[in-house]
Amino acid sequence: MSRIDPSRATPGDWQVRPGQMTMYGGEKLPTLQVWTRENTAVAKLHPIQGLPGDHEAVATNARLIAASKPMAEMLLEALRYEADQFDGHPDLPLDVSGAELVDWFTDWRERVKRVLDVPG
């Protein structure tokens, strides 16, 4: 079995929501939190040093965590595509249609962009 097993991931689409956490001294630190649609907290991310660039890094990490299950599924899909050909004997030529591979990859790439919310 693969070490990546999306079926063991928390079910449902995850959401990134703003939040805060109270520090030891009472200071409120803004966070981004990852939640399931069933309102179960999955992760809480906060800036380490409070620098201006920290917020975007935290937001990026939160989006990646929220997309982790569909990303794992898509990576496994890519590994399964013509696996018998790509994982075959190294001395045998590949019998994979280049045109079909390009069509499959184009579609797969667009779906990856949607999962990662990448524009364009």
pLDDT band, very low/low/confident/very high, at 1 (cuts 50, 70, 90): very low
Q: Helix crossing, 98-116 with 68-80: angle to 10°?
A: 170
Tokens of 28: 């409120």
Q: Within 13 Å of residue 116, how many CA atoms lie on the same side as its CB?
A: 17
Q: Give residue 8's pLDDT.
A: 63
**83 Rama sector, left if φ>0, alpha if ψ -120 to 50, beta otherwise:** alpha
Beta bridge partners of 17: 33
Can you give the residue ranges of every domain in the chain? 6-116
Q: Within 13 Å of residue 88, how many CA atoms lie on the same side as its CB?
A: 11
pLDDT, one tens digit per residue, over 3-48 is 666 666 665 667 888 888 888 888 887 888 888 777 887 787 777 6
pTM across the whole model: 0.59
Q: Among the listed ranges 46-50, 92-96, 116-120, which one has the minimum average pLDDT value?
A: 46-50
- The mean pLDDT value for 96-109 works out to 92
